[in-house]
């Protein structure tokens, strides 16, 4: 990771930037319904912060990854600039010191599935209706 894109753990002051990253993604993704108001999403992120390892990339933050360290489950990975190596850098950080990772991705999100496949993830399960009503795929990575 270059000094241009430092990665660090998030703190409470970062919650508005994390929420902005997700809300901007929802706003620019035509197949993703707006499930929660922006302020509700920000509250969810604040509530999750103590239980997760949340990594930020960039200063100001341009992306984040939320990881449950007990289950090695990635709950979120979003960047402002897909295709610029930010997601890969965050994922490499999450892989460090771990033998396995898992995540759910929306089935319509073909770009994310291609990215995760390039990073060594495989589809292991399908859920017809995820929490937001869209079909999801569970993917796993093993060292």
Number of structural domains (the chain) is 1
The CATH number for 14's domain is 3.40.630.30
% the chain with pLDDT above 90: 83
Angle at the Cα of 39 from the Cα atoms of 126 and 22, rounded to 5 degrees? 45
Strand 73-79 versus strand 100-106 pairing type: parallel
Lowest-pLDDT range of 7-11, 40-44, 86-90, 128-132: 128-132
Assess if residue 84 is contained within a domain: yes
At 33, the pLDDT band (50, 70, 90 cuts) reads confident
Assess if residue 1 is contained within a domain: no
Task: Judge whether 92 and 8 are in contact, CB under 8 Å.
Answer: no
Res 2 pLDDT > 80: no
Assess if residue 2 is contained within a domain: no
Assess if residue 83 is contained within a domain: yes
Q: Which of 101, 108, 113 is nearest to 129 (CA)?
A: 108
Per-residue model confidence (pLDDT) at position 95: 98
Assess if residue 97 is contained within a domain: yes
70: containing domain: 7-142
H-state helical runs in 6-128 = 15-28, 38-48, 86-95, 110-118
- What is the tens place of the pLDDT at every residue in 80-127? 999 999 999 999 999 999 999 999 999 999 999 999 999 999 999 999
- What is the tens place of the pLDDT at every residue in 37-57? 889 999 999 999 999 999 999
At 1, the pLDDT band (50, 70, 90 cuts) reads very low
Angle at the Cα of 51 from the Cα atoms of 46 and 57, rounded to 5 degrees? 65
């Amino acid at each position: 990771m270059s000094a241009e894109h430092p990665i660090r753990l998030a703190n409470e002051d970062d919650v508005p930037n994390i929420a902005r990253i997700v809300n901007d993604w929802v706003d620019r993704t035509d197949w993703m319904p707006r499930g929660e108001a922006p302020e509700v999403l920000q509250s969810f992120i604040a509530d999750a912060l103590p239980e997760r390892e949340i990594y930020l990339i960039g200063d100001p933050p341009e992306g984040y990854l939320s990881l449950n360290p007990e289950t090695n489950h990635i709950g979120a990975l979003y960047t402002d600039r897909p295709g610029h190596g930010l997601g890969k850098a965050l994922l490499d950080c999450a892989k460090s010191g771990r033998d396995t990772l898992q995540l759910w991705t929306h089935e319509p999100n073909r770009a994310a599935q291609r990215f995760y496949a390039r990073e060594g993830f495989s589809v292991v399960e399908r859920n017809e209706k995820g929490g937001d009503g869209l079909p999801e795929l569970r993917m796993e990575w093993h060292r």
